[in-house]
Amino acid sequence: MKLAFGSPALDAASRLMTPFMLMFGAYVVVHGHDSPGGGFQGGVIIAACIILVRLVRGRAGGWMLAPERALAFACAGLGIFIGVGLLGPIFGGNFLDYSALPLLLEAPKARAAGSMAIEIGVAVTVTGVLSLIFDALVEARDDG
Amino acid sequence: MTDDMEGLWSVGTAQYFLTTVLLMVGLYGIVARQHLLRKLMAMNILQVAVIVFFIALSAKSGATVPVVIEDGLEINVASYVNPLPHALMLTAIVVSVSTTGVALALLIRIRRRYGTLSETMLLAKLRE
Amino acid sequence: MFRLSLVPLVVLGALLMTAAGGLPPVGDPESPAATHVSPRYISRGPEETGATNLVTGVLADYRSYDTLGETAVICAAGLACWLILGARWREDGGAQ
Amino acid sequence: MIPTLDPLAVVFLTLMIICAISVLAVRDLLTSVTIFGTFSFFSATYFAILGAVDVAFTEAAVGAAITAVFFVTAIFRTDRGAD
Amino acid sequence: MSAHLPVLVVMVPLLAAVVVPLLGRRSPGAAHAVTLTALGFALAASGLLLSAVVTGGVWRYELAGWAPPWGIEYVLDPLSAGMMVLVSFLALATSIYAWSYLSASDPQRIGIFDSLYLLLVTGLLGIVATGDLFNLYVFLEISAIAAYALLSTGGERATVATFRYLLIGTVAASCYLLGVGFLYALTGTLNMADLTARLADVGESPAKAAGVSLIVIGLAIKAALFPFHGWQPDVYTYAPPPVTGFVAAVMTKVSAYAIFRVLYFTLGGEPAAGSALVFLGWAGVIAIVAGSWLALSQTDIRRMLAYSSVSQMGYIFFGFSLGSPIALVGALFHVLNHAVVKGCLFLVAGGVGWRTGVSSVAGFVGMGRRLPLSMLAFAVAAVSLVGLPPTAGFFSKWYLLLGAFEAEAWIGVGAVVVSTGLSAVYFFRIFERAFVVADDRLSSAQSNDLPVGMLGPALVLAAIVLLLGLFQQPLITHVLQRALPVAVS
């Protein structure tokens, strides 16, 4: 089944909105430290943007995060998280202890940098998985 | 208990009671509704009820959102709400959306094979 | 049968309401939740984690391990959807 | 003196309960999902009133947008059948 | 790096779970090799941990470098390290079995299957290791979601059964979370050790009782204890064999472990925990008889095994409720014994179905001739489940009975005796068909046993049942007795 509610107005609106939504998503990820937001919320917004385009323009929109790539995103995000966590033990701290990272920063700054890295990981995973689930629900074939 | 604490008490406990009602609505939906999609919505309501309960625990009268604005000053604990339940409940929301996604995928498979999502009809088909 | 299942439900609700009456009221600044572990997150969070958003401080630093688990939950959900629906849907790949 | 909590919280909680009951009572599934979105929106407002802006943000994005879209998609894929 | 062993045991499988799906698309073999390596590492590391904590005492690990109760900590004592060994060992064994099963039927999905398998193992290991109530919830959900996906792959009926399990499992998890919320509201902490200290100062109240009972109910649903076992038989019957073998063996045991941990360690001495244990004890006694009785009337072998699991969980909770050192040792030994036994039984039953298409008890005629070694493993495991010497099952039941005599719990003793009789009947029904009844049509049938990859794990598990029985004395003095809470021993 094609889930594309194509109409010129919707098309234009979605084209107009997507850049702002993506920017807002990225902003929410990056500014999670000082304002409400964070990796999960930002990832949800980016995924919502992808889903919006998919809803309006269907597969033709070119915005489809191919399922395989979406899955790779999901795994990569979690991989980033674990990788950052494992840097702790490598540099002599505990698991996920960012203050042990050799960043030449004072502890709070180093911790903020580490948190930022994992937030990005979370955002990547969330974007990948939500669009993957949406695609799985849409594309599931209607036979059998 | 002082007088102004009394007022706090009434608004304060009313929320627990209403949360319990919400919880029971969700539980009732899971038990009694026929359509599996509706059971799933009831499950979401149940999860929101638990989240509401935790957020109610985090509230503090006279406190504001947990984003520190005063810079360099001594931070007054009483002026910010408790951030811990918020962090926990973000995780719980994620869990609930994940569970919903998996459940919907299962439902699509069930519907594809059995042609229905109504529990009674499904049970009848399974018995065949 | 459904009417019957309502009885334990109502009993459970009544018990929970009784129990909830014994909790510190919502908004009580003297409640254990507000006075035990959380004060450190508020008073020292910004200087220790570098995050002025205290929730992010708790989520990404003090309790970052929970967040790791949360990410694993999402990842598991994605893999699960793929496993449940994927077999059929990959057969015709990008065609349509 | 301690200022009391906003009574608005109770109002929104009541609205949530009304929405929750309607979600389960309405016959048409698509209507049901729409009300579910409203329910999530009210819960987000409730969280915001209690000072949980992050949770409110997330609940609005997840409950009212993503979960609702998932449900709508699933309903289109299956049926709008009444209960 | 050895200082970080507690977290590496959990993280290495998780890291493998990230790599495996990407690898699996190109080369399923490599993906499975990575899976086995990660599980092997987990087994070796948890073995090291066990030996370290048995000699050196409790090992606490502060995650992210924050001291509890602000941060999350891992607490490894002989109990949790022992459970980790059990979980990772069964994961390794069933994963080897899964390769033979999947590579024949569905090589395309091995990567994704293995990844979810690793996530399931990660979740269970995390539950066992953690010292934080909310962290336990998170890992409970990881294992649950991975389990839903894996269980649903057994065909269309499995999908329906899994959906029901998903609903019930989510209600259970929400119950647990709500209970944690109650305790958090009363004490302001989520750390188990801190909670113990703080809860002692909180007076008795309905809120405390509600918190404890919600946690116990939530976990009891996950553990499929008698009144809450509704989800379990369908799920175990229709799921693919390697998954059932692992889930039936370990998942409910880990929930039982969590109840044990919460009631004896975290809430030890609380009156609410005492009453919860009384409830669990009675539920257990009913489960012991009812599970066996229901198993007797089943015609499908896997459904029969599923009901027998209900009964065996009853033994474990009955032992927990008695509370004396000897009964607790019996219960823990039964956790060990039943995990290995049920894993073996389900692997063989699944293998038989896979090779011959037989799933009913009646169809086992002549099976002893057709699949001799598999049925040998099945027989050893079944004998242990019934509780005959020299298998592990005899000793675990023996200690449970000693504990029951000591506590003069005559109803429990009666239940154990009745259930032993019933389980003997339902297994000897199978033995008779498999080994004794001569079927003319089958007498000429060639022995056509399972491939090594499936037979090996089953035989190893059967051998372990015997070894556990033979070496029960050192095991009990060196590990199980040290695993008991201080207040009891």
**E265-297 per-position pLDDT tens digit:** 988 778 888 899 999 999 999 999 999 999 998
Residue D1 falls within a domain, yes or no? Answer: no
Q: What integer pLDDT is reported at residue E383 of this predicted model?
A: 92
- The distance of C78 to chain D (nearest Cα, Å) reads 13
Residue with tokens 């809470």: E485
Give contacts of C53 with chain B, Cβ < 8 Å: 66-68
Q: C-alpha distances in angstroms, D38 versus D75, E127, E402?
A: 18, 36, 59
| Residue the block writes with tokens 């996604």 | B101
In this structure, is the dihedral angle defined by the CA atoms of residues B48, B49, B55 and B60, taken in order, positive or negative?
positive
Mean pLDDT to the nearest integer, E174-193: 93
Contact residues, chain C, for D4 at CB < 8 Å = 27
**In which band, very low, low, confident or very high, does the pLDDT at D80 lie, cut at 50, 70 and 90?**
low
D-chain residues within 8 Å CB-CB of A37?
54, 57
Q: In angstroms, rounded to a whole number, what is the distance separating the alpha carbons of residues E433 and E114?
A: 36
Residues forming beta bridges with residue B60, ordered by sequence position: C27
User: Quick one: A27 exposed, middle or buried, by C-beta within 10 A (0-12, 13-18, 19+)?
Assistant: middle
- Which amino acid, residue A6? G
DSSP-assigned beta bridge partners for residue E76: E59
CA E412 to chain centroid, in Å, comes to 23
Chain C contact partners (≥3 CB pairs within 8 A): A, B, D, E
Q: What single-letter amino acid sits at B72?
A: G
C6 part of contact set with chain D, CB < 8 Å: no
φ, ψ of residue E60 to 5 degrees: the values are -105, 140
Model confidence at A4, pLDDT cuts 50, 70, 90, reads: low
- Per DSSP, the three-state class of C27 is strand
Chain B residues whose beta carbon lies within 8 Å of the beta carbon of residue D35:
none
Lowest mean pLDDT among A44-48, B5-9, B66-70, B92-96: B5-9
Question: Which CATH number is E1-131 given?
Answer: 1.20.120
- Work out the minimum CA distance from B128 to partner chain C, whole angstroms: 22
pLDDT tens profile E383-402: 999 988 888 999 999 999 99
Interface test mutation site (partner B, options D31, D54, D69, D80, max chain B beta carbons within 10 A): D54
What value, to the nearest 5°, has the Cα angle with vertex A121 and ends A116 and A123? 95
Chosen for mutation from E7, E116, E152 (greatest number of chain A CBs closer than 10 Å) is E7
| pLDDT greater than 60 at residue E243 | yes
Query: Among E63, E145, E187, whose Cβ lies nearest the Cβ of C80?
Result: E145
**What is the pLDDT at residue A105?**
75
Contacts of B85 in chain E (CB under 8 A): 184
Task: For residue D51, give the chain C residue with the closest CA.
Answer: C27
> Is the separation of the CB atoms in A46 and A32 below 8 Å?
no
The model's pLDDT over E429-466, given as tens digits with 9 standing for 90+, comes to: 888 888 887 666 555 556 778 888 889 999 999 999 99
Residue span of the structural domain in which D42 resides: 8-77
Structure tokens at E429: 């029904």
Residues of E with Cβ-Cβ distance to A75 under 8 angstroms: 18-19, 21-22
Chains contacting chain D through 3 or more C-beta pairs under 8 A: A, B, C
Q: What's the pLDDT band for B8 if we cut at 50, 70, 90? A: very low
List the structure tokens of E79. Answer: 């109990």
Tokens read off for E220: 């009891």
User: Among B66-70, E79-83, E100-104, E325-329, which is the least confidently predicted range?
Assistant: B66-70
Domain B3-127 annotated CATH 1.10.287.3510:
yes
∠E190-E195-E200 over CA atoms, to 5°?
155
CB A135 within 8 A of CB A55: no
pLDDT of res. E195: 92
Rounded distance, CA E252 to CA E266, Å?
Answer: 20
| Nearest residue of chain E to residue C48 (CA atoms) | E66
D2 lies in some domain:
no
> Where are the domains positioned within chain B?
3-127
Q: Are C22 and E206 in contact (CB < 8 Å)? A: yes
Confidence at E424, pLDDT banded by 50, 70, 90: very high
Residue pLDDT, tens place only, A88-129: 888 888 888 888 877 777 778 888 888 899 999 999 999 999
**pLDDT at E348 exceeding the cut of 60:** yes
What band does E364 get if pLDDT is binned at 50, 70 and 90?
confident
Pairing of strands E59-62, E73-76: antiparallel
Mean pLDDT confidence for E84-101: 93
Distances (CA, A) of E161 to B39, B103, E31, E148: 15, 12, 29, 10
CB-based contact E63 A100, cutoff 8 Å: no
Q: How far apart are CA E292 and CA E420, in angstroms?
A: 8
The answer to whether residue C87 scores a pLDDT higher than 60 is no
CA distance E455 to E51: 30
Highest mean pLDDT among A104-108, E113-117, E354-358: E113-117
C-alpha C45/C-alpha E268 separation (Å) is 33
A48 pLDDT exceeds 80? yes
Average pLDDT value for chain C? 82
Looking at residue C93, what is its pLDDT? 38
- What residues of chain B lie within 8 A of the CB of C66, using their CB? 87-88, 91
What percentage of chain A exceeds 70 in pLDDT? Answer: 88
Of A37-46, A92-101, C87-96, the range with the lowest mean pLDDT is C87-96
Domain parsing of chain E, residue ranges: 1-131, 132-483
Q: Is C70 within 8 Å of E142 (Cβ atoms)?
A: no
Touch test D–B: 3 Cβ pairs or more under 8 Å: yes
Backbone φ and ψ for B70, nearest 5 degrees, come out as -65, 135
User: What pLDDT is stored for residue D6 in this prediction?
Assistant: 75
- Percentage helix, strand, coil, to 5, in chain E? 80, 5, 15
pLDDT attached to residue E327: 92
The mean per-residue pLDDT over the stretch E315-325 comes to: 92
Q: How far apart are CA E21 and CA C82, in angstroms?
A: 11
End-to-end CA distance of chain A: 15
Separation of alpha carbons A113 and A27, rounded Å: 16
Nearest to C61 by CA among B92, E281, A114: A114
Residue C91 binned pLDDT confidence (cut-offs 50, 70, 90): very low
What gap in Å lies between CA B57 and CA B19, rounded to an integer? 12
Residue owning tokens 């005559």: E410
- Across chain E, mean pLDDT equals 90
> D–E contact (≥3 CB pairs within 8 Å)?
no
DSSP character string of chain B: --HHHHHHHHHHHHHHHHHHHHHHHHHHHHHH--BHHHHHHHHHHHHHHHHHHHHHHH-BTT-B-SB--S-SSPPPGGGB--HHHHHHHHHHHHHHHHHHHHHHHHHHHHHHHHS--BHHHHHHHHH-
pLDDT above 90 for E137: yes
Which subunits have 3 or more CB–CB pairs within 8 Å of chain E? A, B, C
Indicate the residue of D23, D74, D75 with minimum beta-carbon distance to B45: D23
Q: What is the pLDDT of residue E370?
A: 83
